[in-house]
Amino acid sequence: MARLLLSLADGASSAVRIIGQIAAWSGLVLVLTVAFNVLARYFFSYGSVALQEAEWHLMGVGALFGMSYGLNQGAEVRVDVVYDRLPRRLQVFVEVLGNLLLFAVAVLIAWLSARYVQSSYAINEGSPDPGGLPMRYLLKAAMPVAFVLLAVQALARAAADIGRHLAPIPVAPSGEAESLI
């Protein structure tokens, strides 16, 4: 049972890691877009509303998909002063409970935001600004997808914590514990 939980958690975490690394490249695209906009405006007196909107679209997508990647990499905020002093079993309980609560909230937000995307699609929402980007619902569709990904990562972390708690940690020949994930 523990091996199955660890295997499923590892698969889900790997998928989130790959998607997060792909989404991280949106940061480079964002920097290049901003640089182009600034250089074009100051040196060639050229400006584009669509490119300016693309900046915040890229930032939004990077932030949304960065949530699950941040959780995947252990970059979440925790009060370590208290957490480090807890017994190991209580630490596991806190981790599992926190990840299950995060899972529930992420699923709820994904479900609620899906209706938001649907209404945007129904009216073929675009930018209210002349020259802006059309099909704003595509950007809004990143919300439920990103929160589903966050829910998957939270569930994977909870499963991994339970699996590691149930399975004995193998000891490597060097005497150090091997990572199961």
What is residue 84's predicted lDDT score, i.e. its pLDDT? 81
What is residue 1's predicted lDDT score, i.e. its pLDDT? 60
Is 160 buried (19+), middle (13-18) or exposed (0-12) by CB count in 10 A?
Answer: buried
Neighbours of 29 (CB within 10 A): 14
What is residue 100's predicted lDDT score, i.e. its pLDDT? 95
State how far the Cα of 48 lies from the Cα of 38, in Å rounded to an integer.
Answer: 11
**Segments making up each domain of the chain, as ranges:** 2-166
State how far the Cα of 135 lies from the Cα of 127, in Å rounded to an integer.
Answer: 8
Say what the pTM is: 0.78
pLDDT in tens, the chain (181 residues): 666 666 777 777 777 778 888 888 888 999 999 999 999 989 998 888 888 888 888 888 888 888 888 888 776 777 778 888 888 888 888 889 999 999 999 999 999 999 989 998 999 888 888 888 888 888 899 999 999 999 999 998 888 888 777 766 554 555 444 444 4
